[in-house]
């Protein structure tokens, strides 16, 4: 998720409607402690309130501005006190209440736990009782249909026709947003990348008509921004006031407007397809088939009730910003590394010399390593494996996770020299070499995870769309490298840090031009 100054008001801004709520705001804040969960696990609280702080507000602010250092300090402290604590875990006040932070060494142990619930965490954190947020609850109710569609239909079709469809759409999207201009010209990288990835993702999710609908493309970019901002802003208020506050928050109103417009675009298409199938059945002929998630969700549901608009909004919010942020960061990392860029082009030439094969993208091993290294240095979040205990959980060393306790696992091994020599340096072939070592062939691949690299999560709740994301990013990067020259304008953009969120600088500018004497490679 990116905080783009051109698209989003600052997250701490309160719109004019909320002035109605500012009169009792001091009273509200005094009672915020009632809304914060307490912990009874006996572990140290790493960022406790100061001596004269009566509420958690300043502790939450310190977490938002300094989360990564607090996480490092917490692990360092518990490692020092391990003999006394008997656990490598601690508590931390986050913008969303107190959470228990587990050392990454526990990641393998909890990865498939059915008692540690992602669903309960989302219900707790996403204001599902507030108008405009019902879509999140509906998406959770339809989770089995959604997950099956991603893990079977979407992933399976990547090996068949979808990669060529994505490649064709990449050509169209780049011509539109990066142009065919052979002269150097400047573009806002993050903004154009969002539009390109939105178009590519929508081609697979919603078909060739909707993916070119400017209203839908706006929603596919703005919905995630509005959802993030509305979710964050409502946390200012105690839970009992949030439904009322949402009526006045501009971000909440925008969120509800996004949903209404999405329904007006998606529901007529689904209704038209259902009627066409019914007519075909009456006439004794096979209905027309579509290679998109609208069709696959219908297949998996098989008559069961589900909310297709919720599913599409969830797909969009999960895919567009994460993939565009990843690709933006990769281009920042490639900037000025001309030898590496040429090596990547050589690899593309070799793999695609005879056109498309099912295994083509899997053969781009240097590119795969570059992507994983970029994600290692800047994942989308500095924590992973957010869960909530539905019952007490006792780990193998006796560490107890109490019922209703929220947990997170920090991604600190990403930057730890014990696991990655010279951890602060971008080493493009780091994972290419690692894959050649026994036992690492699988885990060192971009789309796979381990406790040492939590870019896509881990275990039963690892990102179900990671195979699609990996293919989409690789395809887009192939087109960019073979068709364009590029360089960052000005100094290298810095990572934007907001709590645990790590975002590629949304204000970076890229100078680009279409390559001269371009090779004709069938991508």
pLDDT in tens, 34-67: 344 445 578 999 998 887 777 788 899 999 999 9
Q: Is the pLDDT of residue 242 over 60?
A: yes
What does the block give as tokens for 420? Answer: 């990655």
pLDDT in tens, 388-410: 999 999 999 999 999 999 999 99
What are the b/e assignments for 39-50, b being 16+ CB within 10 Å? Answer: bebebeebbebe
Q: Is the pLDDT of residue 523 over 60?
A: yes
Q: Is the pLDDT of residue 481 over 70?
A: yes
Average pLDDT over residues 129-152: 80
Residue 294 lies in a domain: yes
What does the block give as tokens for 94? Answer: 């986050």
The range of the structural domain enclosing residue 405 comes to: 103-514
pLDDT in tens, 69-82: 999 999 999 888 77
Average pLDDT over residues 154-164: 79
Q: Which of 17-21, 45-49, 223-227, 373-377 has the highest mean pLDDT?
A: 373-377
250: which residues sit within 8 A by CB, 6+ positions away? 9, 15, 16, 17
> Which of residues 189 and 6 earns the better pLDDT score?
189
What does the block give as tokens for 343? Answer: 């090596």
Q: Is the pLDDT of residue 161 over 80?
A: no
**Distance between CA 317 and CA 311 in Å, rounded?**
10
Q: Is the pLDDT of residue 173 over 80?
A: yes
Q: Is the pLDDT of residue 517 over 80?
A: no
In the chain, how many domains are there?
1
Residue 51 lies in a domain: no
Residue 54 lies in a domain: no
Beta bridge partners of 117: 388
Annotated binding site for heme: 463
% of residues, the chain, pLDDT over 70: 90
Residue 98 lies in a domain: no
Residue 96 lies in a domain: no
Listing DSSP states for 17-74 in one string gives: GGHHHHTTHHHHHHTGGGGSPP--S---BTTPPPTT--SSHHHHHHHHHHHHHHHHHH
232: which residues sit within 8 A by CB, 6+ positions away? 11, 95
CA dist list (Å): 465 to 62, 283, 292: 33, 37, 14
Residue 68 lies in a domain: no
What does the block give as tokens for 112? Answer: 């498939």
H-type helices in 235-286, by residue range?
242-245, 250-282
Average pLDDT over residues 162-188: 94
Q: Is the pLDDT of residue 380 over 90?
A: yes
Beta bridge partners of 45: 91
Listing DSSP states for 80-121 in one string gives: HTHHHH-SSEEEEEETTEEEEEEPGGGHHHHTT-SSEEHHHH
> Which of residues 366 and 360 earns the better pLDDT score?
366
Query: Cα-flanking dihedrals φ and ψ of residue 242, to 5°?
Result: -65, -40
pLDDT in tens, 71-110: 999 999 988 877 676 789 999 999 888 999 999 999 999 9
Residue 7 lies in a domain: no
Q: Is the pLDDT of residue 301 over 80?
A: yes
**Distance between CA 280 and CA 359 in Å, rounded?**
36
**Distance between CA 507 and CA 493 in Å, rounded?**
8
Residue 21 lies in a domain: no
Annotated binding site: 463
Length of the chain: 523
CATH number of the domain to which 264 belongs: 1.10.630.10
Instruction: Say which range, 19-33, 327-341, 398-412, has the weakest mean pLDDT.
Output: 19-33
């Amino acid at each position: 998720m990116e905080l783009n100054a051109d698209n989003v008001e600052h997250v701490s801004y309160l719109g004019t409607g909320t002035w109605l709520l500012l009169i009792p705001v001091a009273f509200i804040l005094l009672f915020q402690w009632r809304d914060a969960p307490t912990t009874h696990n006996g572990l140290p609280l790493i960022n406790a309130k100061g001596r004269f702080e009566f509420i958690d507000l300043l502790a939450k602010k310190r977490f938002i501005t300094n989360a990564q250092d607090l996480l490092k300090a917490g692990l360092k402290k518990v490692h020092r006190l391990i003999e006394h604590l008997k656990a490598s875990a601690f508590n931390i006040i986050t913008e969303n209440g107190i959470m228990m932070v587990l050392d990454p060494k526990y990641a393998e142990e909890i990865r498939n736990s059915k008692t540690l619930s992602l669903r309960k965490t989302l219900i707790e954190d996403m204001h599902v009782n507030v108008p405009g947020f019902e879509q999140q609850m509906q998406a959770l109710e339809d989770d089995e249909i959604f997950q099956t569609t991603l893990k079977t239909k979407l992933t399976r079709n990547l090996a068949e026709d979808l990669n060529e469809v994505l490649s064709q759409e990449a050509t169209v999207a780049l011509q539109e947003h990066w142009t065919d201009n052979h002269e150097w010209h400047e573009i806002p990288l993050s903004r154009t990348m969002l539009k390109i990835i939105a178009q590519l993702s929508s081609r697979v999710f919603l078909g060739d008509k909707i993916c070119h609908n400017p209203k839908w493309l706006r929603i596919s970019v703005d919905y995630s921004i509005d959802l993030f901002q509305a979710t964050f802003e409502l946390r200012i208020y105690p839970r009992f006031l949030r439904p009322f506050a949402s009526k006045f928050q501009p971000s909440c109103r925008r969120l509800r407007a996004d949903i209404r417009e999405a329904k007006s675009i998606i529901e007529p298409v689904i209704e038209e397809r259902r009627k066409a199938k019914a007519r075909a059945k009456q006439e004794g002929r096979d209905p027309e088939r579509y290679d998109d998630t609208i069709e696959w969700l219908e297949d998996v549901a098989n008559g069961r009730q589900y909310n297709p608009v919720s599913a599409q909004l969830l797909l969009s919010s999960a895919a567009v910003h994460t993939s565009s942020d990843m690709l933006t960061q990769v281009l920042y990392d490639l900037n000025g590394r001309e030898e590496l860029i040429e090596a990547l082009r050589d690899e593309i030439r070799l793999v695609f010399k005879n056109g498309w094969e099912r295994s083509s993208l899997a053969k781009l091993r240097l590119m795969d390593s570059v992507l994983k290294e970029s994600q290692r240095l800047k994942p989308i979040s500095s924590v992973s494996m957010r869960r909530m205990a539905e019952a007490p959980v006792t780990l193998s060393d006796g560490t107890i996770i109490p019922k209703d306790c929220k947990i997170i696992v920090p991604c600190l091994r990403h930057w730890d020299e014990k696991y990655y020599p010279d951890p602060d340096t971008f080493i493009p072939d780091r994972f290419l070499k690692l894959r050649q070592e026994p036992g690492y062939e699988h885990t060192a691949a971009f789309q796979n995870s381990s406790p040492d690299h939590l870019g896509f999560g881990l275990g039963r709740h690892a990102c179900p769309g990671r195979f699609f994301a990996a293919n989409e990013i690789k395809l887009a990067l192939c087109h960019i490298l073979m068709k364009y020259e590029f360089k960052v304008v000005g100094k290298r953009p810095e990572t934007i840090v907001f709590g645990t969120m790590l975002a590629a600088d949304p204000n970076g500018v890229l100078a680009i031009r279409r390559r001269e004497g371009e090779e004709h490679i069938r991508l």
